Amino acid sequence: MIDRRKFLVSAGGLAASAMAPAFAASVAKRQWPAPPQHARMPADVGNLGYHRMDDYAWFQPKDWHAVLRAPDSLDAPIKAVVKAENDYTNAMLAPSAPLQRQLIERMQALDALDSAPLQVRDGDYLYYQRSKEGSDHPVYARRPLAGGAEQILLDVGAEAQGQKYYKLSWGGPQHSRDGRLFGWAADLRGSDIFSILVRDVASGKLLVEDILDSHGEFAFSSDGRYLFWCGRTDKGRPSKIFRREIGGSGADTLVYENKDPAFFVSLRTTVAGGYLVIRMFNGDMTEVRLVPMATPTAEPVLVEAATQGLHYDVEEWNGKLLLLTDADGAVDYKLVTASIGAPGRANWQPFVPHQPGRFILAIHPFADYLVREEWRDALPRLVVMSKDGKEKEISFDEAAYAISVPNGQGWQSPTLAFTYQSPRSPRASCLLTLASGSYARVDKPVVSAAYDRERYEVRRLVAPGADGVLVPITVLMRKGQKLDGSAPLYLYAYGSYGGTVDAEFSSMAIAAVDQGWIYAIAHVRGGAERGTDWWRSVLKQGKKKTFTDFIDCAEYLISQRYTRKQRIVAHGYSAGGLLMGAIYTMRPDLWAGVIARVPFVDVLTTMEHYENHPLGTTSFPFWGDPRVPEEHAYIASYSPYDQLRKTAYPALLAVGSVADNRVAFWEPLKFAVKARALTTAGNPILSRTAMYAGHMGDPGARAMYEEGASFLAFAMWAADRKWGKVPQS
């Protein structure tokens, strides 16, 4: 399957900086606890010939990568900053505890509407993931197609017991093609350093348990004899592919290595199982090598050498290689074929032509059919093609919705399993019959007095952007909601790396709407909702369009009386957190509050010191090359940390994790501390830093509810200016 979807400190404050007067007045007037005050220790953080002073550079540990491997080893003075900030945030939010409990209960009731798990057919089994009563973690299991008892393959909760942190890799567990082996990659720190484990299903014996420093990706050879896995550099970049004979000596053979810090390396097998696909990539280009699974010890074969501006990926179908590519100006991608003996670009033959505005996101080959996931007009769809070239489009009838096709679908399966949901429709498990092109729901919806989808309405709006583009907005609200500008509005966006924001069912969003809120998603440029140009147009010196799109969406919603100024709480994650930092500094007058989760807000310093970051130079195609003066100047012109100034800032909640290897924890920490020192308003500016949560947060269900409830409580208090009276310690 091809898919394009990545020292001084104390409570009293030694060498403390003074609070901004307006904020200090709010503390006294409202009897809030005094925020911690931290030493200002100016240091030159510039690089590449640039100089720039930063009062809080000392929040960064001297050996970040050692801390990623052992978060508890964080330097004591920095750990004291983290504790003081966390204590302050907890104290400020403490009066909302009853509200948070109410919100958690509501979210749990809503998530109980998620009915039977989606079952994926492969070989003689149906594979699925289900919840386990009393556990925060899922169970992976299977049932024989012919009938029989469930067989548990992995109880994640049991594996996580006694661990401070336990998360599976993004790709999830995998089984060998014959079903004998089951493997998974586990992160015990939150820093994306994965151990790979392989179990013999019949005996339960662990056959592999000593791979402790991987990037998390792995694959089985078709015969189940070999394990291929992805290694990482000491800076965290995936760079090597190894092969190990399962049950052999335990020795690993290097299959491929890419030493260029401008590239990441990944691996997977084709759906038919004929090839291991080794792919190196960055924002500018890709390169693929294939290892035939008939001879898994063979040297990888190059498909097409990396070329500036050329992106492609490889599958196999109908006896040929099938490539998804943007070659020859196919910005929204096309499909071409090539013979296995001559895979290079000179031999690529047209198959499914490029259509501007029809973005081909992924392909799913089966023995007799090919399914495409596409985006058109900012909505996803499925298209089924038979071997004779005939196609059938699968349509859906809500204003905005989301479909998800899981990996691991069997090559010989007559059906494609997928899920369907919308902001008001809980997730449904569906089966698409490939021969007929028809689909049906295969689970029974949970009927509950706790939820009636007819009480809610989903709308798709378009906001005119400053440069004439139309930016889609998905809106969820109560049916019959009065549009008089009085409602508070929760506005979410991401806007980077071509990542689409799906219009999914969210218990957090419904809980907000139940409290009288309107919930909206701004599908800003940087995502791929409107095709490749929607995100490529904001690369490097176009990035500010992402920020202005978000602001334009907010102002459009105000003009249409969905809300009003300073009744909006904005929320973004990771690169979407960069968006939050940017709109916080660009238009502080618009927002009641901003929630920046693991936000990339110290962009300029991070980019100048790229050699110490796991992204290395792979980030240059997206944000720009800081070694180029014009690109450096552009980054400096929006880098949120550097744009903070003395002005009236809205409430802020900035969240990070010490174990996060993508966005360093000191970025949100510094941003909040600096903003608090500069604000001329009386709004709370908070930060929260976890030790082991990692970039994706704590994977446990309870932690997810607690975080969501704290976000909503923060938002509700910020929008209504109802920050509670907090007892002084």
Nearest of 39, 95, 22 to residue 728 by alpha carbon: 95
| C-beta of residue 644 within 8 angstroms of C-beta of residue 654 | no
pLDDT at 6 over 60: no
Average pLDDT, integer, range 375-396: 95
| C-beta of residue 143 within 8 angstroms of C-beta of residue 456 | no
Beta strand residue intervals within 4-135, DSSP E? 9-10, 37-38, 43-44, 53-54, 120-122, 125-130
Average pLDDT, integer, range 488-508: 96
Average pLDDT, integer, range 704-719: 96
Element spanning 131, H or E? none
Helix (H, G, I), strand (E, B) or coil at 563: coil
> Which range is least confidently modeled, 1-15, 584-598, 635-649, 691-705?
1-15
Average pLDDT, integer, range 200-213: 96
Count of other CB atoms within 10 angstroms of residue 47: 18
DSSP 591-617: EEEEEEES----HHHHHHTGGGSTTGG
pTM, to two decimals:
0.93
> Alpha-carbon distance 203 to 693, whole Å?
33
Which pLDDT band, with edges at 50, 70 and 90, does 724 fall under? low
pLDDT at 9 over 80: no
Q: What are phi and psi of 309, to 5 degrees?
A: 85, -5
- In this structure, which amino acid lies at residue 46? G
Question: How is residue 636 annotated by DSSP?
Answer: H
> Alpha-carbon distance 60 to 670, whole Å?
9
What percentage of the chain exceeds 70 in pLDDT? 95
- Residues 280-298 have pLDDT tens digits of 999 899 999 999 999 999 9
Average pLDDT, integer, range 92-109: 95
Q: Which residues contact 344 (CB under 8 A, 6 or more apart)?
A: 303, 304, 338
- Residues 608-657 have pLDDT tens digits of 999 988 888 999 999 999 999 999 999 999 999 999 999 999 999 999 99
Q: Which residues contact 390 (CB under 8 A, 6 or more apart)?
A: none
CA angle centred on 667, ends 665 and 669, rounded to 5°? 75
> Alpha-carbon distance 501 to 534, whole Å?
13
* Of 413 and 133, more confident: 413
- Residues 52-79 have pLDDT tens digits of 999 999 999 999 999 999 999 999 999 9
Q: Which residues contact 404 (CB under 8 A, 6 or more apart)?
A: 418, 419, 502
Question: How is residue 309 annotated by DSSP?
Answer: T
> Alpha-carbon distance 130 to 120, whole Å?
12
Which pLDDT band, with edges at 50, 70 and 90, does 728 fall under? very low
Altogether, the residues listed in the chain come to a count of 729
Count of other CB atoms within 10 angstroms of residue 172: 15
Element spanning 28, H or E? helix 21-30
DSSP 442-486: -SPPPP-TT--GGGEEEEEEEEEPTTS-EEEEEEEEETT---SS-
- CA 246 to each of CA 194, 207, 293, 324: distance values in angstroms, whole numbers, following the listed order: 18, 7, 15, 32
pLDDT at 727 over 70: no
